[in-house]
Structure 1
Amino acid sequence: MTDTKQKTDTYLVTGGRRKEWSHGVVNPPVYRASTCLFETYAELRERCADPSAKKLFYGRKGTPTQWSLEEAITELEGGTGTMLYPSGIAAITGAILACVKAGDHILITDSAYEPTRTFANGLLRQMGIETTYYDPMVGAGIEELFRENTSLVVTEAPGSLTFEVQDLPAIIAAAKKRDLYVITDNTWATPLLLNPLTMGADISVHACTKYIGGHSDIMLGSATANKRTFKALQRTAYQLGQTCSPDDAFLASRGLRTLGVRLKAHEENALKVAAWLRERPEVATVLHPAFEECPGHEVWARDFAGSSGLFSIVLKGGDYADTAALVDDMKLFKMGFSWGGYESLILPSDPNGSRSATSWDAPGPLVRLHIGLEDTDDLIADLEAGLERYAAHIGAKD
């Protein structure tokens, strides 16, 4: 994490802005590069001997545009190094591949991001790697699921649809007894609210597409590793040819500068809207880690520095077809995948399609909300009208 002499909000502004990379301007420029030129044969031989050094070698290995973002994220996460990827799922899959080999067994939380499950059930299975999905609330009991060939535990705190908050310290402690790797998808919390590496995790992954970018205009992922894992992460990324565009890295660096103030606003707005939803007769449950009824709330209160703008609600009655009455005529909440931008989003999501270790039993459909930076009174008015439409629709059916 950042030096205590330089607080996080300060480092968000200053991180990665080396003079040799910025050349006297505030932001490191966008270096669009494939070929990098060498002045002498000696220089060429030097770069070939260590192509991973932060010196120009070939565009795929990065330029100051990417290096500055990598350095800033590494410091915020408290890691040894960071690799950048063209998407969040590319970062997750790259991190997993850095920790496994054919014949291994791995554990993935049942609440994981659905593309993570697709990767495990697809390519990993083809590679001869077996996956067991586990109850996200298992805590220290995960030890009972370890096999002789278990190599990795994949965590996500909280789950991106149902928001169970995993007991990362307990899971990590159990994994360390067997020298297993632990990967945490830390996208919801960002490095500002949680630092899995300081808890003992090996790799912390982000879909930088979301809060780090913050403006719904880039596709980008990052994986930050500790000392024992970084070389494997870096080697795997290089062998897979994983990289990101300098333009996306530049936009993510720009987003990072305002992450602190944006995340505080997302948290404040989301808590206000969630508290209002909690009192609505159409809502059975609000799945927000800051509320007692959310599974793992006590773990969130212990381990996290705050909350972000993403949570779900469970409606009373009806089924997913009925949610059209709610979402189709929203004025501010628009339907769309992803989250973490400045705009509010709404998305009916059925967890049953991506569960195997646990079951999802609810009195009505689940609807995920991302609370943006709009005025909360306007957002509440939009939701109120939508919930009234939903209630009227359900009532008419009855």
Structure 2
Amino acid sequence: MSKPVTDLIHHPYVPPAGFAAPQPGVFKASTVIFPNVAAIRARDWKHKTGYTYGLHGTPTTFMLEERIAALEGGSQCVLVPSGLAAIAAVNLALLKSGDEVLLPDNAYGPSKALAEAELKGWGIRYALYDPMDPADLQARIGPGTKLVWLEAPGSVTMEFAPLAHLAQVCRQRGVTTALDNTWGAGLAFNGFDLGRGDRFLAGSGADIVVQALTKYPSGGGDVLMGSVVTRDDALHQKIKLTHMRLGFGVGANDVEAVLRSLPSIEVRYRAHDRSARALAGWLQSRPEIAQLLHPAFPSSPGHEHWRALCGEDGMAAGLFSVVFDARYGSARVDAFCDALKLFKLGYSWAGPISLVVPYDIPSMRRAWPHKGTLVRFSVGLEDVEDLRADLEQAMGALRG
């Protein structure tokens, strides 16, 4: 007669099949149970035909991978612990000592830091190119160039690059491209099909699309996760094997949170976009502001590229930056940020709470034409008039 604790652990009850609800079930596992040795030897985790170990996938992670792949217009996806981990996974899967990777000068800062430290230390060269000039990219691609990163708009400074032209340059030179599509979120444009009309055909975009699911897919400011999406199975398998060897895993509760938020992503994206445009337009009219950086506004660098790709009435997320007039020094701009009440000081974006961060752009860019201090705003889901009033009252601290 077995003891009660053994009976508890090995209880034979299995719930009946057929339960359906709006949200999928959450499966947490490191160990996966096999019915027999033959199943252990036969199961293939690489193609989602079975389960072998929690790190290689559960019904919960497979569900999110399939949905993110559909959102991005791809066919395969792997999940990683953060957006930066997605960038790292792609670099490590495709690059080896002696190779070169090219990054846009306005790339996400930690991506540049990864190239400067780890990749350089492993014998992988990197160089920066001007993302607004396809000819500059063309000139920098050499025999050792194996990967080119694309990003639009640029991190913090928000220039919108001619992505289709950049991808075309790489395609003609036979170089793999990876796009950070966190801003577009699979909604503003399709990273795999970057053309509009008949100038660029389907498949004219990037070979790989990564996204920080931390942002719009999660939407709550409480999850760290990233994704790597592909259309080519051979490329996917290369990334998936590197993903396995790196031991990248994501928690089931975090996956559940993203699955729960995902159905409302477009509604939230449009709400962020609408409020951001209202506030950006108001700030642009203010005498304290020297430059608005928002792709949907004609005065912003690369606006014509955004319009060509996303459409005249296209979406543009809830993120923008402004450059304050040079007569306001960085200390005054810091005082403005400190005086904000609804806008909180904090990194990241796409959550319900509006955020603000001042940046020292000359230390981040090779060439920066503006003299004033840049401040980036992430517009949340608060009432837009309340946010406008918050900005207006903080102008008093700016003026001193």
CA offsets, 1:204-230, max 9 Å, x none? 111111111001010111110121421
Distance in 1, matches of 2:378 and 2:249, equals: 28
Is residue 140–residue 170 contact of structure 1 (8 Å, CA) maintained in 2?
no
Runs of 4+ in 1 over 4 A off after TM superposition: 20-23, 49-52
1:42 pairs, out of 38, 45, 49, with: 38
Gap regions ≥5 residues in structure 2: 1-15, 194-203
Q: Please state if 1:25 is matched with 2:21.
A: yes
Q: Please state if 1:107 is matched with 2:102.
A: yes
2:321 pairs, out of 312, 318, 337, with: 312
Distance in 1, matches of 2:20 and 2:334, equals: 53
- In the TM superposition, what are the counterparts of 1:53-68 in structure 2 within 5 Å? 53-68=48-63
2:396 pairs, out of 388, 394, 398, with: 388
Distance in 2, matches of 1:342 and 1:299, equals: 29
Greater Cα radius of gyration, structure 1 or 2: 2
- TM-score using structure 2 length: 0.89
Partner of 2:176: 181
CA offsets, 1:71-130, max 9 Å, x none? 011112121211101111001111122221210111100101110011000110011111
| Distance of aligned partners of 1:153 and 1:40 in 2 relative to their CA distance in 1, 3 Å threshold | same
Identity %: 39
Partner of 2:210: 205
Is residue 52–residue 61 contact of structure 1 (8 Å, CA) maintained in 2?
no
Is residue 332–residue 397 contact of structure 2 (8 Å, CA) maintained in 1?
no
DSSP 3-state at the match of 1:312: strand
Distance in 2, matches of 1:363 and 1:314, equals: 8
Partner of 1:257: 263
Partner of 1:368: 376
Partner of 2:200: none
DSSP 3-state at the match of 2:229: strand
Partner of 1:289: 295
CA offsets, 1:170-202, max 9 Å, x none? 111111112111011100111011111123311
Cα displacement (A) at 1:363: 2.7
Cα displacement (A) at 1:23: 4.3
CA offsets, 1:224-247, max 9 Å, x none? 012142111111111111111111
- In the TM superposition, what are the counterparts of 1:149-188 in structure 2 within 5 Å? 149-188=144-183
Distance in 2, matches of 1:96 and 1:320, equals: 36
Q: Which amino acid in the other structure matches residue 152 of structure 1?
A: L
Partner of 1:122: 117
Cα displacement (A) at 1:50: 4.5
Distance in 2, matches of 1:208 and 1:312, equals: 22
- TM-score using structure 1 length: 0.90
Q: How many pairs align? A: 370
Is residue 345–residue 369 contact of structure 1 (8 Å, CA) maintained in 2?
yes
Is residue 108–residue 154 contact of structure 2 (8 Å, CA) maintained in 1?
yes
Partner of 2:278: 272
Is residue 311–residue 370 contact of structure 1 (8 Å, CA) maintained in 2?
yes
CA offsets, 1:351-393, max 9 Å, x none? 22222xx3123231100001111111100000011123202x2
Is residue 85–residue 91 contact of structure 1 (8 Å, CA) maintained in 2?
yes
DSSP 3-state at the match of 2:94: coil
Distance in 1, matches of 2:330 and 2:216, equals: 28
